[in-house]
Amino acid sequence: MLSVLYSANGFSHVPTEEDRRYGFFDYIFWNPHLYKVKVDITIYYEKKSPVKMESFELEPESIDKKIVFPQDYPNLVVDGGSVGAKIVTNALIFVETIMSAGELGSHAKTLRTDEGDNRIFRGGVADMLAEPRTCNLWYFADGYLIQKDQPYESGGDVEESKASFSEIEWYHVLNPNKRDAEVTMQCFYLDRTRDSFSYKVGAERVLMFDNYNLVKPNLRYGIKFISTEPVVVQCERLIHDLSKSGRDDWGMATHTPRPGIPAPLIWNEEIE
């Protein structure tokens, strides 16, 4: 019996002056069975065709298998941007994606120097289990775009923002199908207003976008993703603007993962 898992929120990028985002990620595998399990992984990208990795086996009752991207596979994931994966095994296992990402502040020119790690990094990582299936509907609670210098709205009442930081969210959509997907993000705000934003996710591609200058700031919202094809949606929050000089000096780093809830599918459409 084949089992399938999906990860959508891998991110790999070497920062430059033009694009100061950085990112790297790990896959950690747990085989709880008393026998070896074969693993086949297909890697998906933003702008190029997917690549299938060489198969490998997990030892019985083991959690010692760890893959670090791009370090362990520099020819597979090199500055790849948003990265997703389809993980097919001959028995159910568990896979954890650990992503460290954000944006370097002006004082950090590289990820590492001879003096050690000089990233201005104070956020954490997005640690998320791989999803067991794709789906046409995904739900997320408590969406938020925090802008500390903007008014805070709560049910129509406006007051001066008391936030000491700013915060954005990254959304990752993996479309492993051989057809393009039309994906709509519906936002349901605390003040009972709504917004809709539509995106095209290419066949066998990953799309990543954020909510900066997109949604209403400082107003919580629930999210419903509607897709014409079964997809996987994952997201995380990134925190910035903790210093007086703001994001340019302090940078930005992952704050917390945002797990979603998929609506049920009638048929198991993930395995061809």
Mean pLDDT by 10 residues, the chain (272 residues): 92 86 93 96 96 96 92 88 95 94 71 46 76 94 87 56 82 97 96 96 97 94 96 93 68 86 64 42
CB atoms within 10 A of CB 16: 11
According to the model, what pLDDT value does residue 246 have? 66
Q: For position 270, what pLDDT does the model report?
A: 45
* Rounded (5°) CA angle 194-240-171: 45
Rounded to a whole number of angstroms, the distance between the first and last alpha carbons of the chain is 13
pLDDT value at position 243? 63
User: Residue 250 belongs to what H/E stretch?
Assistant: helix 247-250
Cross-strand pairs, 226? 137, 184
3-262 CATH: 2.60.290.11
Contacts of residue 14, defined as CB under 8 A and 6 or more positions apart, other chains included, come to: 22, 79, 111
Amino acid 213: pLDDT: 92
